[in-house]
Amino acid sequence: MDYFTYQNGTMYCEDTSLEQIASEIGTPFYVYSAKSFTDSFNTFSNAFEGRERIICFAVKSCPNIGILSLLASLGAGADIVSGGELDRALKAGINPQKIVFAGVGKTRQEIHEALEAGILMFNAESEQELDVLNDEARKLGKRAKIAIRVNPNVDPKTHPYISTGLKKNKFGISVETVREQFRYAAGLDSLDVEGVHCHIGSQLTDVSPFADAAKIMVSLIKDLRADGINIKYLDMGGGLGITYKDETVPKHEDYAKAILDAVGDLDITLIFEPGRNLSGNAGVLVTRVLYTKDSGTKHFKVVDAAMNDLARPSLYDAYHGIKPVYETENRITCDVVGPICETGDFLARDRDIADVPVDGLYAVLSAGAYGMSMASNYNSRPRAAEVLVSGGKYYIIRRRETYADLTGPESVPAFLRNR
């Protein structure tokens, strides 16, 4: 967390004071460090120096077009999972030839849009999808470049909700039957079968599952080439974790080595889809203490950010570090809860943290990935602002929502008007 440090007792993002941002734009807000994104992207990419590679940022982890523009300027591509993400990636100036499209439920409309945009590749997840891709490409008089998402049946040893590469998961096609699917795809007239794809899970803190998956993929590529299918791309997905609490996470070089050892001298372009690894520790959520409460047995800090702003604690019981924006020696064991009418609305439970008084600020750490991207308007709460810091300056990359934003798409039906 080198990008969020204390200077004279108060937390800065790079050279910008979080207190200053809070006093100028209010709370809660997400704040991201441009330098953190830049450094992580560069070390990730440089770890594969000397190999043909495309680093496709997983848009769903942190989809703001300000962030995507920054990544585009660094040469990043995008891993998208919907038409909405395609639209964002294009608006942010990401080269369509660096966009890969995954997902088990791509609609015809989304496929049509992606073909029109001229993306690099579809990562197909079923036989039926292959037929739809072929059909939509033919209708447009185009060819669809595809990879098939392979389920290598490797245990990523992560949270069950974010493990995706096991047989029992809904993703991809089982490695045992996938060779037939490749032959089937290669026989379809409007498809160019050029890639193999896998994504085995998220928040992996060990490189061995990546190495195991890579070995399986490399042997598959050799089989497919023997079948006359000229595979040009090996897409290893995302999933490399970050430190939330005390996890030791492999360095980019160790991750790269595990994969490159398996790839050997195979002539192939590598694709990676890191999300959390680039965005997770690039952002924090800043929230103000509204009230403190004692239930006799428990102490509560009621803050102005809630599960609608950061869902991960409620959804996965995820741990996010919580630090005071203004340093203090005082400590307290408490629950940090939001204003939402749900017992599940907490950011931390029974946590020993700095004792920040009412009106003080906390920074909820490691909130850059799957934070704002999972935010909702539950309880009619306008979504938080997002800010990008670069050095001593900050830029609002998403203004705080207004009440008008909340009701804007809604309407009262005609039979209830003019009562």
By the rule CB under 6 A, 58 interacts with ligand PLP? yes
Based on the shown chain and the rule CB under 6 A, indicate whether residue 276 belongs to the binding site for ligand PLP.
Answer: yes
The least CB distance from residue 105 to ligand PLP, in Å, is: 12
Residues assigned a catalytic role: 341
Nearest to 313 by CA among 240, 358, 374: 374
Under 8 Å between Cβ of 53 and 75:
no
Contact pick of 61, 181, 314, 373 for ligand PLP (by CB under 6 A): 61
- Minimal distance, residue 235 CB to ligand PLP, in Å: 9
Residue 177 dihedral angles phi and psi, to the nearest 5°: -110, 0
Q: Which stretch binds ligand PLP (CB under 6 A): 44-52, 58-66, 89-97, 130-138?
A: 58-66
Judge contact between 17 and 286, C-beta under 8 A.
no
Q: Residue 181 corresponds to which amino acid?
A: Q
Binding flag, residue 147, ligand PLP (CB under 6 A): no
Pick the closer one to ligand PLP by CB: 63 or 237: 237
275 binds ligand PLP (CB under 6 A): yes
> Which residues lie below 8 Å from residue 321, measured CB to CB, with a gap of 6+?
244, 245, 364, 365, 366
Nearer to ligand PLP, 274 or 324 (CB): 274
CA separation for the pair 353, 303 (Å, rounded): 14
> Whole-number minimum distance, CB 237 to ligand PLP, in Å?
5
Beta carbon nearer to ligand PLP, 255 or 346: 255
**Shortest distance, position 260 Cβ to ligand PLP, whole Å:** 19
Q: Tell which positions 188-247 bind ligand PLP, by CB under 6 A.
A: 199, 202, 237-239
Of 90-98, 222-230, 275-283, 302-310, the window that binds ligand PLP (rule: CB under 6 A) is 275-283
For 170, residues 6+ apart whose C-beta sits below 8 A from its C-beta are 104
Residues 77, 83, 152, 274: which binds ligand PLP (CB under 6 A)? 274
For 210, the token pair is 């990546």
How many whole angstroms separate alpha carbon 10 and alpha carbon 21?
Answer: 12
Task: Pick the binder of ligand PLP from 34, 47, 65, 102 (CB under 6 A).
Answer: 102
| Amino acid identity, position 108 | R
Among 60, 301, 312, 381, binds ligand PLP (CB under 6 A): 60
Q: Report, in Å, the least distance between residue 77 CB and ligand PLP.
A: 12
Shortest Cβ 147–ligand PLP spacing (Å): 11
Nearer to ligand PLP among residue 195 and residue 324 (C-beta): 195
32 sits in which H/E element: strand 29-33
Question: Would you count residue 273 as binding ligand PLP (CB under 6 A)?
Answer: yes
* 311 vs 69: CA distance, rounded Å: 25
At residue 254's C-alpha, the angle toward residues 250 and 260, to 5°, is: 135
Q: Which of 79, 85, 136, 355 lies at the binding interface for ligand PLP (CB under 6 A)?
A: 79
DSSP-assigned states of every residue in 108-146: HHHHHHHHHHT-SEEEE-SHHHHHHHHHHHHHHT--EEE
Q: Do residues 335 and 353 touch, judged by C-beta distance below 8 A?
A: no
**Interactions with ligand PLP, residue window 364-403 (CB under 6 A):** 369
Q: Which amino acid is at 149?
A: R
Binding residues (CB under 6 A) for ligand PLP: these are: 58, 60-61, 79, 81, 102, 199, 202, 237-239, 273-277, 369
